[in-house]
């Protein structure tokens, strides 16, 4: 989105309080037309409250919710260019799949031939045409999810809101449905806003992620930006696994800093704006960035011994103890390893390039 372009929707310093609990705390966020935005955070962080504000089911105590340039304060849910797909799917049990999809169109008094065409279009979109006459109890979890999606898309909303849409599916179906949802979103061109606590789901499906904690948005960016450059310790540890190493600055140079980590010793990390000598800070290192190998030139290295090994099919996870108390997690793709992996109790050298460390000051 260019600086002059208007967002499709905007939260402008919204705040929502329930009793003594601040659910949403002075949140501002632009939602770009055509994007797949995910509100990601733990239970109780405020993400569902934000979604319900867009839908009109919650009203901010202060601030504004704007959609298509219009303040939504006086606009009821049924008049907003928004539809919401609930976690429970909320299909009408006495109606067929086709009748469920047609329900909202009938409420809007669309003419019968147009309803038939739209229902057929939606059934084809979600690959449910052969099941059009089935009732919800005759559908699998994945089929019910697609039926609910078709019903939500039938009225062509500007914004589709998805509240934990894959939570009821088993792991295999959830992974398959993630890509189906992404494909459908690209084909229909409608802006999707999804709520989830599942980091992998958010990373896979989203064009942008807004990470929430305690009612605030703590970082917004593309999935790779969030993962590779977390803005805080919370983001680094919540979005994917990370080794968080605490220490004190030994020396700072232009573009890098050397930090003394207890049990590990001096560690170098890149830093555009390095902290001052003696300042406490931390670094995050993703488990897959660490190698069980001697260091290359200009890399960090340490000696340790393996405490635990976990085999996870495509990868192996090693817990390596360094010194008396430091425990580091290492993740290695099984296709990359040579021969039999080292076992618990083995002494190893681990290394990582200085570019793999992420300096954290918050």
Q: Give 19-63 pLDDT, tens digit per residue.
A: 999 999 999 999 999 999 999 999 999 999 999 999 999 999 999
- Are 335 and 288 contacting, i.e. CB atoms less than 8 angstroms apart? no
**Which residue from 110, 179, 113 is spatially nearest to 146, judged by alpha carbons?**
179
Q: How far apart are the C-alpha atoms of 164 and 302, rounded to whole Å?
A: 42
Region(s) of the chain under CATH 3.40.50.300: 9-237
Region(s) of the chain under CATH 2.40.50.100: 242-360
Q: Give 185-212 pLDDT, tens digit per residue.
A: 998 899 999 999 999 999 999 999 999 9
Q: How far apart are the C-alpha atoms of 244 and 282, rounded to whole Å?
A: 7
* CA distance to 45, 89, 211, per residue, from 66 (Å): 22, 26, 21
Q: How far apart are the C-alpha atoms of 50 and 59, rounded to whole Å?
A: 10
Q: What is the pTM of this model?
A: 0.89
The structure tokens listed for 21 are 């609990």
DSSP string, 126-160: TT-GGGTT--GGGS-HHHHHHHHHHHHHTT--SEE
Is CATH 2.40.50.100 the right assignment for the domain spanning 242-360? yes
Per-residue pLDDT 10s for the chain (362 aa) are: 444 457 999 999 999 999 999 999 999 999 999 999 999 999 999 999 999 999 999 999 999 999 999 999 999 998 999 999 887 778 899 999 999 999 988 888 888 889 999 999 999 988 899 999 999 999 988 888 889 899 989 888 999 999 988 887 888 888 888 888 898 899 889 999 999 999 999 999 999 999 999 999 999 999 999 999 999 999 999 999 999 999 999 998 888 899 999 889 999 999 888 888 889 999 999 999 999 888 888 889 999 999 999 988 888 899 999 998 899 999 988 876 666 778 888 999 999 999 999 999 77
The structure tokens listed for 344 are 């618990």
**Which residue from 345, 267, 348 is spatially nearest to 303, judged by alpha carbons?**
348
> Angle formed by the axes of helices 112-125 and 97-107, to 10°?
130
**Which residue from 306, 315, 299, 286 is spatially nearest to 346, judged by alpha carbons?**
306
Strand partners, 338: none
Domain 9-237: CATH superfamily is: P-loop containing nucleotide triphosphate hydrolases (3.40.50.300)
- Are 231 and 35 contacting, i.e. CB atoms less than 8 angstroms apart? no
Q: Is 339 exposed, middle or buried (0-12, 13-18, 19+ CB in 10 A)?
A: exposed
């Amino acid at each position: 989105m260019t600086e002059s372009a208007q967002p499709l929707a905007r939260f402008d310093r919204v705040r929502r309080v329930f009793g003594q609990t601040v659910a949403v705390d002075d949140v501002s966020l632009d939602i770009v037309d055509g994007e797949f935005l995910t509100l990601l955070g733990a239970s109780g962080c405020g993400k569902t409250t934000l979604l319900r504000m867009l839908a009109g089911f919650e009203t901010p105590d202060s601030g504004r919710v704007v959609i298509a340039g219009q303040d939504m304060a006086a606009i009821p849910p049924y008049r907003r260019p928004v539809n919401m797909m609930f976690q429970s799917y909320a299909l009408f049990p006495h109606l067929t799949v086709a009748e469920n999809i047609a329900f909202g169109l009938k409420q809007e008094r669309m003419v019968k031939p147009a309803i038939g065409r739209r229902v057929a279009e939606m059934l084809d979109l979600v690959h449910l045409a052969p099941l059009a006459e089935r009732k919800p109890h005759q559908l699998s979890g994945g089929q019910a999810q697609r039926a609910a999606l078709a019903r939500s898309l039938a009225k062509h909303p500007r914004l589709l809101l998805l509240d934990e849409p894959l939570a009821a599916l088993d792991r295999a179906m959830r992974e398959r449905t993630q890509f189906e949802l992404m494909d459908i979103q690209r084909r229909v061109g409608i802006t999707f806003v999804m709520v989830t606590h599942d980091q992998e789901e958010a990373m896979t499906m989203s064009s942008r992620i807004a990470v929430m904690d305690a009612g605030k948005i703590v970082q917004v960016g593309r999935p790779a930006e969030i993962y590779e450059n977390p803005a805080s310790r919370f983001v680094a540890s919540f979005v994917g696994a990370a080794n968080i190493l605490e220490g004190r600055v030994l020396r700072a140079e232009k573009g890098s800093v050397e930090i003394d980590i207890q049990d590990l010793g001096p560690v170098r990390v890149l830093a555009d704006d390095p902290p001052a000598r003696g300042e406490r800070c931390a670094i995050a290192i993703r488990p897959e960035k660490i190698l069980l190998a001697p260091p290359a030139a200009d890399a960090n290295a340490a000696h340790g011994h393996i405490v635990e090994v976990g085999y996870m099919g495509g990868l192996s996870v090693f817990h390596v103890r360094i010194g008396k108390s430091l425990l580091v997690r290492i993740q290695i793709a099984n296709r990359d390893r040579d021969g039999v992996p080292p076992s618990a109790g083995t002494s190893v050298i681990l290394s990582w390039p200085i570019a793999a460390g992420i300096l954290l000051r918050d």
